[in-house]
Structure 1
Amino acid sequence: MAGDKIGPYTVERVLGRGGMGEVYLAQSQGGRRVAVKVVHASLASDPEFRRRFAAEIDAVRRVGGFHTAAIIEADPYGDPPWFATAYIPGPTLAQHLAARGAMSESELRGMGAATAEALVAIHGHGIVHRDLKPSNIILTDDGPRVMDFGIARVLDATRFTHTGLVGTPGFLSPEQYLGQDVTGASDIFALGAVLVAAAGGSAFHGKEAVALAYQAVHKEADLSAVPERIRDTVRRCLAKDPAGRPSARALLNELAESGGDGPQRAGDRQKFTETPASFHRRDTIPAEPPTGLEPLVAADAHRTLTVNSDGITFRQLDEYSFAWAVISDIEQETGRTDWFLKIRFVGHNHVQQYFLTAPDEDTLRDWSDRLTLFVGTFLRLVP
């Protein structure tokens, strides 16, 4: 697929796959990176889907890119239909939580307020997301971005007719399960479940979709992981009756009152790891590489370290590559501008050691943070 054209964009690689289609990292003719989403043929064959798809793209364009990835170009009547958005390389909330663990109360307030602010803009244009979850929220230096809103509504409307309910169990509202009118209040319910997940818990428990549906409709959410001072706010977000939930604006005001410093602000950004940091092998290595994260390339005058979905490659005079399947542990230590890595291998006492010098402290911090986010998908960060 690399090198293929989608409209005027040249594909570099696959970023992800989902219920709607594939997402590709691509370049514009001017060299700018974009995310191009191509619709599945099964959806593209439905004329009603294409009509709704075109209408929703127009609606999303009106919201703009401050709270999401702005749509740059689209061809809803192409073969297949596609649209291109600005590429946002930050980690998803799900990836952040996997690498770092539960958020503090202050981080929860900051992330929740910024996401509620995004919903204010989205709902203000008459759009309902319908599938808000940690993997649809990207953390950037200037705040969380909510991905794929609006498009979720046309996907939902099309697939409900053919195959039933669309969404993510554990984050769906009671009215979505019951086939009732879905409004912005459903997104508030989902944000409540997102806040519980970000606090290290689960609003509803189990892996079976039927069990999660029953709990969402009939059982109170488990808020034991949520800090006490914001627990009532999250409880009201998860009210069974949509009328009992706060609006996005009211939720924003409530979470912002006491302030918050989630991981979205560059100036206040906390390091994702302490120094030194250790990563240990997970019981199961993910079959799919992380999406939404750029491969890490760290280099000084003599050496280059590349970390990507295939593994780790170190180049000096020669090149050494290690797949994730053979790596058991990684340790990193940082000085003022020095970065020292130790890599151990499965079933061996052998250790590879690498040393790089960053040009400044900010670059070193960026290397360390990005290593933690990327490696945290394959290995477990040890507290």
Structure 2
Amino acid sequence: MIDRSDLPPRRVGSYTLVRRLGEGGMGIVYLAHDDQGGLVALKVMRPELAGREDFRRRFEQEAAAARRVARFCTAPVLDAGIDGDQAYIVTEYVEGPDLSSVVDAQGPLTGANLEALAVGVATALTAIHEAGVVHRDLKPSNILLGPTGPRVIDFGIARVADPDATRSAAVVGTPAYMSPEQVNGGSVTAASDVFSWAGVVIYAATGRPPFGTGGMPEVLYRVVNHVPGLDGVDERIRPLVERALDKDPERRPAAQELLDWLLGRGQATAVEAVRAVSDAWTPLLTSVHVGGASRWHRLWVPLAAAVLSAAATAGVFLAITRPWTASEQIPGGSSAAAAESVTATVTATVTATVTAPAARSAVSASPPKPAVKATPGTEAAAGDVRVINPWDQSVPLHVQIDSLVRQGDRVKLQWTIRNDGSGDQYVIVSKLMGNADRAEKVNLIPSGVEFPSFPLWEKGKCVCSGWNTDTSIQAGESVRLHAVFRTVPKDARTVDVDLLNLGLYRNMLITRK
């Protein structure tokens, strides 16, 4: 029998309340039925807010923005409204506990489930930010662990619940997962969510908040002034977590960069990420008794130790250890599943192999790695290719890696393409760089690392060369291109430079500015 003693005396909007799911500082969440009898989660905001005109205005704006967020690894907002003195938001109901409950009961996540969590939350943030929304309060209790993986909830709710812009920023958010700029009352942007993402990953991996526990002033002081506790974080994901926790929001990767790094490919799509998370996530229904009472909570944990043991024995590595695909990998970080489409494009554009020993054609096998480091700007960092122009004529190109320079936490690559043909022959740049309008798919492959580094993205734009559809290289002319990378390990001395259809240039030495 359902206990209705904690329910409001009436329906909310067109929704029939079933039972209370939980309560937070912003309101109470109920399980409810919609008009068709389907289950939804309905959050009723604090009643004192609904009577304020400024709140109603902000509520309508933020709720409309939240409804634009794509469904990728989120509990999408289905409806929102104000019914009398009650403002409410309706989201898809996710059957599963929150991350905090799971870690408290079962301990930290490990292996594929930890990696799936990192990818899933990054995917959700990508969708949230693309809709122009900032979460502002990403924390373990706002991440539900459903049967197919993590789902982020309550995005944009912190801003809705705090319409008074003069209030302290420390009030909006959870201290242990807030960014330094939130603590200091600065602008809260998508970069703040990335900081919180790193804190959530640390908690999931270790069972501890990134800046410890204690009173609010103490924790907030550590957020602004101390380094986070990273002991116990998987070494494969630790470098990305460290970058996301940079005190300077301008130096943190964007959510899309998190995805690219974790999945090992440039401009990884949300569809790819969701499929990867679903494939890697291992749920199990288990019951945990709470406080000696007769209530039982359902927790999703690894299906069986035998299954995980078999997977480990078979050498299954998911998430950040390799792109999440069952396909065999091909040079440059592309999967064999994509090889057919790549080959089809390359067959129409490249007709001769690279003559220099340090490079390759995109359709030829990679040559043995040279024993010595190749210094950018030398003959060893150059190669020759031939391409087909729009009139089916063969055009010779000379490709030179000009420089590969470390500048702080970034590495800048510059290369030159020279048209060695004659007459009016020319080459369309996009044909050489993977039919893109920017060089975002060029990548660096550090020695001993299983996934490439792709160009940095800032404010939604690739920090790399771009061109128009009519950009060409006239006979006898050359063009210099560039790309900036942030995810190259600090101890990397050499990398392979994959210029796509222009070849793979191996063992390039990274110099310092």
More contact order relative to length (CA 8 Å, sep ≥ 6): 1
Q: Which residue in 1 is equivalent to 2:24? A: 18
Which whole-Å CA distance do the structure 2 matches of 1:266 and 1:153 have between them? Answer: 34
Give the superposition deviation at 1:150: 1.5
Q: Which residue in 2 is equivalent to 1:195? A: 201
**In the alignment, structure 1 residue 40 sits paired with structure 2 residue 46:** yes
Give the superposition deviation at 1:159: 7.0
Give the superposition deviation at 1:105: 4.0
Q: Which residue in 1 is equivalent to 2:181? A: 175
Report 1:305-344 matches (<5 A): 310-311=294-295
Give the superposition deviation at 1:160: 5.0
Alignment CA distance shift 1:157-1:252 (3 Å): farther
TM-score by length of 2: 0.51
Give the superposition deviation at 1:78: 3.8
Matched-pair contact (CA < 8 Å) for 2:27–2:44: yes
Give the superposition deviation at 1:157: 4.3
Q: Which residue in 2 is equivalent to 1:265? A: 278
Q: Which residue in 2 is equivalent to 1:220? A: 227
Q: Which residue in 1 is equivalent to 2:257? A: 250
Which whole-Å CA distance do the structure 2 matches of 1:138 and 1:109 have between them? Answer: 15
Of the structure 1 ranges 34-43 and 157-166, higher mean CA displacement relative to structure 2 is found in 157-166
Report 1:290-301 matches (<5 A): none
Matched-pair contact (CA < 8 Å) for 1:128–1:187: yes
Give the superposition deviation at 1:171: 0.1
Alignment CA distance shift 1:139-1:159 (3 Å): farther
**In the alignment, structure 1 residue 211 sits paired with structure 2 residue 218:** yes
Matched-pair contact (CA < 8 Å) for 1:263–1:270: no
Give the superposition deviation at 1:229: 2.0
Alignment CA distance shift 1:114-1:267 (3 Å): closer
Report 1:97-246 matches (<5 A): 97-158=103-164, 161=167, 165-200=171-206, 201-246=208-253
Question: Which residue identity does 2:212 align to in structure 1?
Answer: H
Matched positions, count: 285
Q: Which residue in 2 is equivalent to 1:5? A: 11
Kindly indicate which of the two structures has a greater share of residues assigned to helix.
1
Which whole-Å CA distance do the structure 1 matches of 2:280 and 2:131 have between them? Answer: 31
Q: Which residue in 2 is equivalent to 1:331? A: none
Deviations 1:18-41 (A, max 9, x none): 122111111123211111111212
Matched-pair contact (CA < 8 Å) for 1:110–1:256: no
Matched-pair contact (CA < 8 Å) for 2:80–2:88: yes
Question: Which residue identity does 1:265 align to in structure 2?
Answer: S
Give the superposition deviation at 1:265: 3.0
Alignment CA distance shift 1:267-1:199 (3 Å): closer
For residue 51 of structure 1, the aligned residue among 38, 46, 57 is: 57
Deviations 1:169-207 (A, max 9, x none): 110000001011111010011011101100113311122
Deviations 1:317-376 (A, max 9, x none): xxxxxxx9xxxxxxxxx9xxxxxxxxxxxxxxxxxxxxxxxxxxxxxxxxxxxxxxxxxx
Q: CA RMSD in A?
A: 3.1
For residue 96 of structure 2, the aligned residue among 90, 94, 111 is: 90
Unmatched tracts of structure 2, length 5 or more = 1-6, 266-271, 298-303, 305-513
Matched-pair contact (CA < 8 Å) for 2:145–2:151: yes
Deviations 1:3-51 (A, max 9, x none): 7311121111111111221111111232111111112122222211111
Which whole-Å CA distance do the structure 2 matches of 1:270 and 1:153 have between them? Answer: 33
TM-score by length of 1: 0.67
Alignment CA distance shift 1:191-1:18 (3 Å): same
Which whole-Å CA distance do the structure 1 matches of 2:163 and 2:151 have between them? Answer: 24
Alignment CA distance shift 1:2-1:209 (3 Å): closer
Alignment CA distance shift 1:145-1:136 (3 Å): same
Question: Which residue identity does 1:199 align to in structure 2?
Answer: A
Report 1:59-74 matches (<5 A): 59-74=65-80
